[in-house]
Amino acid sequence: MFSIVRVRRSATLRSALLLVLLLFSGLIFANNEANSLSPYHHVDNGFINPENSYKRSVSTFQRMNFFRKFLWRGLIDRVPKDLSGHVIDNAVASQLLNSFDDRDSISWVGHSTFLVRLGGVNILTDPVFSQRVSPFSFLGPRRKVSLGLEISDLPSIDVVIVSHAHYDHLDTKTLDLLPNKSGITVIVPLGLGKYFTKRDYGKVYEVDWYDNVQVGELSVTAYPAIHWSNRTPFDVNKSLWMSYGFSLGGVSIFHTGDTGVHDQVFKDIGSHMLKKYGGCDIGLMSIGAYDPREFMRGAHMDPEEGFEVGKQVGCKKMIPMHWGTFKLSFEPFYEPRDRFVSAAGSMARVLKIGETIPISKSFDY
């Protein structure tokens, strides 16, 4: 009898999760069609992608089939047993971070979350420290590896930059836990400021593409991305999405956010960064969540596309992100990293989760 009850409960849980995924399917399959206004990416009910972006079309059957496979594979997918080459133990990660206390450095917290320290300014990108990226604590993609760095390990944060509204990039539980909120300057796409103002963060800037924000000597520019946004089925594309560049002390960094590829957009970003910042020293490149390709194309890059975008922007070195943290699609665990390194060669610098490296003028690391 116990085994029957357990099976029934498991089936009920899978059914509930399928319903949740379908309700929130806009997170992966939002349609960006709309009538363009001025500027071209602003529309009556929100925003659309840049002109000539890839047009995605996914049928209801394809969506349900994806989620059915996602649920089933979620039950059997396994993280590799040996993670020593991927995650640093918390005590070691914290000690390593502290060893660079007075130097420019970059730390990979996991997924799209980085701590970047430039000229004494502490910048946190897409901060996610929760165990799940979901509106629910008991359902949704779960962190597959431990956090190398905890919130308590971080120095006092000066600037938070968020690329878009999806749960694996905008995590309200993390926003609640960050200390010194009143001293943090926040830079977010149009429509997302409310998540920070109601939590009493300091200065909150809602930005459009190519807007610039100056925080002391730190310069931050919002750039386009090929993606979408929502947090419920009722707010699809009502907030903007973006990539972004920032620079201080002669060091410039580009963060892709989540994006697909585009024939012109990233070349234009590269031209802008060259003129404004002297180029791109480090690109933080999103390379995961690409399989099945017919679903993810036009919203997520595969590893080779991530390298090509980095070249279009003109980044001297590229650090892969958006892989090896949460299971969001079907590619094998280490495949994004391995394919990216194969494509980018010496231009790739793979970080372990929790690892901190120095940022030097020569970028020979």
CATH number at 181 reads 3.60.15.10
Q: Grade residue 57 by pLDDT with cuts at 50, 70 and 90.
A: confident
Question: Which of the four pLDDT bands, split at 50, 70 and 90, describes residue 19?
Answer: very low
Query: Does residue 199 form part of some domain?
Result: yes
The answer to the question of residue 195 being in a domain is yes
- Answer whether residue 67 is part of any domain: no
Residue 313 near residue 281, CB atoms below 8 Å: no
CA distance 220 to 213: 5
Residue 62 located in a structural domain: no
Give yes or no for residue 331 having a pLDDT over 50: yes
φ, ψ at 40 (rounded to 5°): -60, -25
Bridge partners, 356 (sequence order): 107
d(CA 66, CA 110): 25
Residues in the chain: 365
Helix, strand or coil, per DSSP, at residue 317 = strand
Kindly give the residue spans of alpha helices, DSSP state H, lying in 33-120. 60-76, 90-99
Two tokens, residue 5: 């009850």
Instruction: Compute φ and ψ for 124, nearest 5 degrees.
Output: -115, 125
Q: Which two tokens stand for residue 279?
A: 């180029």
Tens-place pLDDT, residues 174-211: 999 999 999 999 999 999 999 999 999 999 999 999 99
Q: Please give the pLDDT value at position 6.
A: 31
> Which pLDDT does position 82 carry in this prediction?
86
* Number of domains into which the chain is organized: 1
- Residue 238: give the domain boundaries: 90-358
pTM, two decimals, is 0.89
Q: What is the pLDDT of residue 138?
A: 80
User: Is residue 267 included in any domain, yes or no?
Assistant: yes
Strands 315-321 and 280-286: parallel
Residue 59 forms part of a structural domain: no
Peptide bond into 39 cis (omega under 30): yes
More confident residue, 275 or 142: 275
Q: Does residue 320 lie within any of the structural domains?
A: yes
C-alpha 347/C-alpha 358 separation (Å) is 16
Residue 261's pLDDT is 98
Q: Is 214 a residue whose pLDDT tops 60?
A: yes
Task: Identify the three-state secondary structure at position 250.
Answer: coil
Quote the mean pLDDT of the chain: 88
In-domain check, residue 42? no
